[in-house]
Structure 1
């Protein structure tokens, strides 16, 4: 995701200019993007429309980049905006995994194990983000790990989308991979903060 960000930003810059001319604030884009992700994930995924849902969710996820572009253009970036963006990111991410959990549970033949794995991914992802935020709140850093938010989103959306196209086992493989990577990242961040706080 970090590798793609500069290219996506260049593509979105003209749209950002248009929104700035119309007087639309970055906070509005952040909110609309999150509401779109939540609605799409909780409607499409439980109904089994994994590919269509992934396309719509991806469209709204891009608002996470557009609000930043707009903030830089208008000079309206703020502490509140940063807080709102981070908070709504957690809501959007949770809705994606919640939609998948409902999909597994509501199937004609429920896949409870995968529902549990998806739930674990939801919790572990929240821990990854919390560990970083808490470390920064204590004056330290936790910018380490193999599963940042961007990577987690790419894995789950690609896996869900391909599963919707009929690729077998890809969603299960993606979720198990994500569960492992998120667990490793939580440990990496805990170790990193421990070294700053205790090992001088």
Structure 2
């Protein structure tokens, strides 16, 4: 059910993003420029607003600019496929943006003396990095790891919703969102490692040693 919802949501976003991607390409904007712009926007939302406790504004800005992660990929596909440097830049900028988001959240929660929230933010930061690393390492070994219920866009949406609810006055909404995200991120790591393990078994019998 979660996978069906995820596919439907992405299909809905694609109908909005594709016309924007075409328009930007016609104006000579490159996917790499969109990647960098998106990262700068996330940094502004996270560090300029979220870290100061302006959670609603920060979450909205981060969510808007996080969607460029889908936009630059669509643009790359429409223009003939992503280059190796484009893929490298996209992955690198994603890690910078994720670090800023969860670092800002952890900083603000620390000023509020919310130890559980800080712990949740740190778990999300580490688990999110492992989710991405497992995929990258698998691809480096000639396998795939394109599975999981909490990919990057979903992770940012979850923390964004928590931030908006907290900013709107719902007590501990951000902390609850962080621990929910921590759980699904750890589960996603397990999903990806299991997926890679099964591929490795087919390629190298006896891999379980």
Return the alpha-carbon distance in structure 2 between the equivalents of residues 188 and 97 of structure 1.
23
Contact 1:159/1:170 (<8 A) preserved: yes
In the alignment, structure 1 residue 27 sits paired with structure 2 residue 32: yes
Shift of 1:193: 2.5
Aligned match of 2:187: 184
Question: Could you tell me which of 54, 60, 63 is aligned with 2:65?
Answer: 60
Return the alpha-carbon distance in structure 2 between the equivalents of residues 119 and 9 of structure 1.
31
Contact 1:43/1:99 (<8 A) preserved: no
Contact 2:67/2:153 (<8 A) preserved: no
Contact 1:144/1:189 (<8 A) preserved: yes
Contact 2:116/2:175 (<8 A) preserved: no
Question: So what's the TM-score if we normalise by structure 2?
Answer: 0.86
How many residues were matched structurally? 198
Q: How does 1:1-200 map to 2 (within 5 A)?
A: 2-75=7-80, 77-107=82-112, 110-198=113-201, 200=205
Two-structure CA RMSD over aligned residues (Å): 1.9
Shift of 1:83: 1.8
In structure 2, stretches of 5+ residues that fail to align are: 1-5
Shift of 1:132: 1.2
In structure 1, stretches of 5+ residues that fail to align are: none
Q: 1:66 to 1:197 in 2, by over 3 A?
A: closer
Specify which structure has the bigger relative contact order, considering alpha-carbon pairs within 8 angstroms and separated by 6 or more residues. Answer: 1
Question: So what's the TM-score if we normalise by structure 1?
Answer: 0.89
Q: 1:73 to 1:198 in 2, by over 3 A?
A: closer
Contact 1:45/1:102 (<8 A) preserved: no
